[in-house]
Amino acid sequence: MATIDEQVEVLMSGVEYGDSETKKNMAKELRERLIEAEKEGRPLRVYCGYDPRTSDLHLGHTITMRKLRQFQDFGHDVTFLIGTFTSLIGDPSDKDKARDQLTREQVEINARTYAEQAFKILDPAKTRVRRNDEWLSPLDFADIIRLASNFTVQQFLVRDNFAKRMQEDKPIYLHEFFYALMQAYDAVAQEADVQVGGQDQLFNILVAGRKLQAALGQKPQIAIIMGESLPGTDGDMKMSKSQGNHIPLLSEPWDMFGKVMSIPDKAMPIYHKLILGWLPEQIDQLERGLADGTLHPNEVKMRLAREIVSIFHSPEDAEAAQKRWDEVFRGGGSGMPEDIPEHPLTEAKRVLDLLRDLNMVSSGREAKDLAKNGGIRLDGEQLQDVNFEITPDKLPVVLQVGKRKFVRLISG
């Protein structure tokens, strides 16, 4: 069994608060809380929240999940919190404008597979799954006023994104203040010892959450703020579905493999660090090898793609994904994989409707943009009119979207 000092060393690894004094204080509080919990014969109550603003989690979300897994491995009580109520507003923390508000129906649809996705990292037998509408939905207006009385407007306006909007004369809506209040109440409702989050959650966890707990007679939670964010497939911006640079956990092995292969070479070290958990000396060796030419970037990236697909699917899926990649992108092939899925067609149908029905695009706009940029092909020929009708008498044909999505249309 790990000692308290060993736990603190592991659990505080990779965290960052912007100043050394805060980090020192958080490490001290964590050690004290571990000692206290050990005397009481209980585990720490630890959680991280994930808002179902979209239907899929992505690789960037696994950074906080891996920290939760560390707590699990030390025997602590971990909650995977689905923000079914907070997502109705949407976190404004890293946004320069107000988010669109979702309906309860949209949130419910998005939340359906969140736990299943989380279990790709977390131990299902040791994970408590909760939804924050459980305690936020019953609050009435008097409750909200009482909770809000613990904060000042000035505390919110000094946040970077709100301060920036003030300078640029962009609107800040009153409901956006409620998000931090609701997340703070999540900590209170669970009597949390620890909350894990990314850099964009620094205010919500370290300020709002701790302040509200203290005001309501609880010991303030320890904030575990992860220091680095995973860049998206562009290699620069933080991975985000709204940026279109994400790698969904639910993506097919072949698509996940291809998306990893598309990341810029410069992003490979941080992917090895944050997704594969490589140590600093391993990262240094990787960077030296890439710099002096002893490691070929494409081979390193292919190994990275295989390992990531193996983690979120299986080694067999990773092997099949690489085989398909080789068929399409390495010399000698026709440019099409061998194992193209088939779809029967019984009547004339527009390409746009087919793409939607087969989930090959997320919207009509995406389909039109792809077609405009040569990203849709029929039997290898570019198709620019998404309203083009495919009829059963012209089958079979192969419909291709982008570089990695294929379907063979056959007579049904």
List pLDDT tens digits, range 346-368. 888 899 888 888 888 878 888 88
pLDDT band per the 50, 70, 90 thresholds, residue 91: low
Residue 308 and residue 367 in one domain: no
Residue 269 belongs to a domain: yes
For 119-133, write each residue's pLDDT tens digit. Answer: 999 999 999 999 999
Residue 289 and residue 370 in one domain: no
Burial class of residue 374 in the structure, from the number of CB atoms within 10 Å of its CB (0-12 exposed, 13-18 middle, 19+ buried): exposed
Last-in-domain residue among 329, 350, 367: 329
Residue 242 belongs to a domain: no
Residue 271 and residue 384 in one domain: no
Q: Find where tokens 């040569």 sit.
A: 374
What confidence score (pLDDT) does residue 334 get?
52
Helix (H, G, I), strand (E, B) or coil at 181: helix
Last-in-domain residue among 185, 208, 225: 225
pTM: 0.76
Pairwise CA distance, residues 11 & 14, whole Å: 8
Report the CATH number that the domain containing residue 403 is assigned in CATH: 3.10.290.10
Pairwise CA distance, residues 56 & 117, whole Å: 8
Residue 64 belongs to a domain: yes
What confidence score (pLDDT) does residue 96 get?
44
Number of domains comprising the chain: 3
- Residue percentage of the chain with pLDDT more than 90: 51
What confidence score (pLDDT) does residue 336 get?
65
Residue 26 belongs to a domain: yes
For 359-395, write each residue's pLDDT tens digit. Answer: 888 788 888 888 888 888 887 788 888 899 888 777 7
Q: What's the mean pLDDT in 245-255?
A: 89
Residue 257 and residue 216 in one domain: no
Rounded-to-10 torsion of CA 166, 172, 177, 183: -100
Residue 50 belongs to a domain: yes
Residue 64 and residue 174 in one domain: yes
Residue 323 and residue 403 in one domain: no
Asked if 26 and 220 touch (Cβ cutoff 8 Å), the reply is: no
Task: Kindly report which listed range (15-24, 70-79, 93-102, 291-300) carries the lowest average pLDDT score.
Answer: 93-102
Last-in-domain residue among 280, 305, 329: 329
Domain that holds residue 72: 4-225
Contacts 24+ apart (CB under 8 A), 103-112: 107/52, 108/84, 109/55, 110/52, 110/53, 110/54, 110/55, 111/52, 111/82, 111/84, 112/55
- Residue percentage of the chain with pLDDT more than 70: 94
Chain mean pLDDT for the chain: 88
Residue 387 and residue 289 in one domain: no
Choose among 151, 176, 161: nearest CA to 88.
176
pLDDT band per the 50, 70, 90 thresholds, residue 142: very high
CB atoms within 10 A of CB 52: 23
- Please determine, for residue 344, whether its predicted confidence score (pLDDT) is greater than 60: yes
What confidence score (pLDDT) does residue 88 get?
81
Residue 240 belongs to a domain: no
Asked if 355 and 361 touch (Cβ cutoff 8 Å), the reply is: yes
pLDDT band per the 50, 70, 90 thresholds, residue 90: low
Distances (CA, A) of 87 to 4, 118, 211, 242, 385: 36, 17, 22, 15, 37
Asked if 76 and 263 touch (Cβ cutoff 8 Å), the reply is: no
What confidence score (pLDDT) does residue 64 get?
96
Residue 138 and residue 276 in one domain: no
Element (H, E) at 226: none
Report the CATH number that the domain containing residue 300 is assigned in CATH: 1.10.240
What confidence score (pLDDT) does residue 365 get?
82
Residue 125 belongs to a domain: yes
- Please determine, for residue 269, whether its predicted confidence score (pLDDT) is greater than 50: yes
pLDDT band per the 50, 70, 90 thresholds, residue 94: very low
Residue 59 and residue 127 in one domain: yes
